[in-house]
Amino acid sequence: MRFFVDTADVSELDKLLVTGMVDGVTTNPSLIAKSGRNILEVTKEIASMVDGPVSAEVTATDYDTMIQEGKKLAAIAENIAVKVPLTVDGLRTCKTLSDAGTMVNVTLCFSAAQALLAAKAGATFISPFVGRLDDMGMDGMELIESIRDVYDAYPTLKTEILVASIRNTRHVERAAEVGADVGTLPPRVIWDMYQHPLTAKGLDDFLADWGKTGQSIL
């Protein structure tokens, strides 16, 4: 499973890039607003930092304006994936852009039926929001399983499942278990994946024993 970082904070991204674990980036209007930067400027900088897809979201809701915004975002760099909402106009925009060779990430997916529509519209990625379903008392990961089943039943569908609204490491584990293609993770969740109390204890024990030997490898 590939890892995308869900951020518009260049400094956070820079810290994660050196780990070699970053395969792409996703942004949205809320993350751009939090960064306090111009959307075109920060998107261009992020796209220059990573080789993989960088999702940049349109803010319009009508087809004509979404197409204009999508083309402007796509022109920033070759690795831009234009993010559109899962609406009638959003999927119409997806079809037009994808037919023209632009990567498209369809966001705000909450059902397998919606995911099927996005795939038929040529989406490169479908972004189901598992955390928001959990917030409603549902099991968001069941949606990932359902979409995986639907897509696997039709091999001609090439849309990748990009699990979004990930809140914790268990979400990541379960997404991998059911065969999600991508997870977009907040920086905090990626750092949390490294942590386990037994790992820390084991390292402390090893170092204590090594110190008693008085040796040095260098």
- Smallest CA-to-CA distance from 182 within 52, 43, 33, 39 is with 52
158 is catalytic: no
Neighbouring CB atoms inside 10 A of 179's CB total: 15
The catalytic residue among 15, 83, 158, 201 is 83
Instruction: Confirm if 103 and 82 have CB atoms less than 8 A apart.
Output: yes
Q: Which residue has the tokens 């995986």?
A: 148
What's the CA gap between 199 and 89, in Å, rounded? 49
**Residue 155 in tokens:** 């091999």
For 41, half-sphere exposure in the C-beta direction (CA atoms, 13 angstrom radius) is 6
What's the CA gap between 83 and 66, in Å, rounded? 10
DSSP structural state of residue 121: T
Instruction: Confirm if 58 and 73 have CB atoms less than 8 A apart.
Output: yes
Which residues belong to the active site?
83
